[in-house]
Amino acid sequence: MRVFLLLLSLFSLALAQEGPPPDLSPEVFRIARALRCPVCQGESAAESNSGVAQEMRRLIAEMLKEGKSEAEIKSFFVDRYGEWILYEPPRRGVTLWVWVLPFLALALLGAGVFRYFRRPKVELDPEALKRLEAELEGPEETP
């Protein structure tokens, strides 16, 4: 009997989980995936079940019904929360460096590696080479 009650309570908890409302269009979730949830860590407004994310999805659905474009909807959320709300920040200003610096670092690293392996070989004076080899062998023992 206890096992039955435990399974029944687990089943009722599983049914109580709220999924995405079926009345929202896939367009709402596509736009919400590009926006961060303001109160969740690392979740988009489409993935989160927080109240703020649900409200964001509802606002997106209303704006789409009003005929607003995706850019206008994103602009609304940027005005409200700042550019932080966008998962893909715009490529201008300070955020441009975030896009450019990895490629610049790879180019500098490649140039450094290329220069290291292409450096000219230095030829030593044969007399100096013989003298250095004699010094490495150590002093000759004299009887």
76-113 per-position pLDDT tens digit: 999 999 988 998 877 788 778 888 899 999 999 999 99
Q: Is the same domain home to 66 and 117? A: no
The answer to whether residues 54 and 62 touch, using CB atoms and an 8 Å cutoff, is: no
Domain boundary among 51, 68, 85: 85
Question: What is the pTM (predicted TM-score) of this model?
Answer: 0.54
Average pLDDT of 125-138?
A: 88
Q: Identify whether residues 25 and 81 lie together within a single domain.
A: yes
Instruction: Say how many domains are in the chain.
Output: 2
pLDDT band for 127, please (50, 70, 90 cuts).
Answer: very high
| Co-location of 101 and 42 in the same domain | no
Report, as an integer, the average pLDDT of 135-143: 73
The confidence band for 140, taking pLDDT boundaries of 50, 70 and 90, is low
Closest to 47 (Cα-Cα) out of 140, 56, 133: 56
- Average pLDDT across the chain, whole number: 84
* Residue 6 covered by a domain: no
* Residues 6+ positions from 45 with CB-CB distance below 8 Å: 32, 33, 35, 36, 37, 53, 56, 57, 60
Burial (0-12, 13-18, 19+ Cβ within 10 Å), 44: middle
State the residue range of the domain holding 130: 94-137
Residue 61 lies in a domain: yes
Q: What is the band of 25 on the pLDDT scale with cuts at 50, 70, 90?
A: confident
DSSP letter assigned to residue 85: G
Is residue 44 classed as helix, strand or coil in its secondary structure? strand
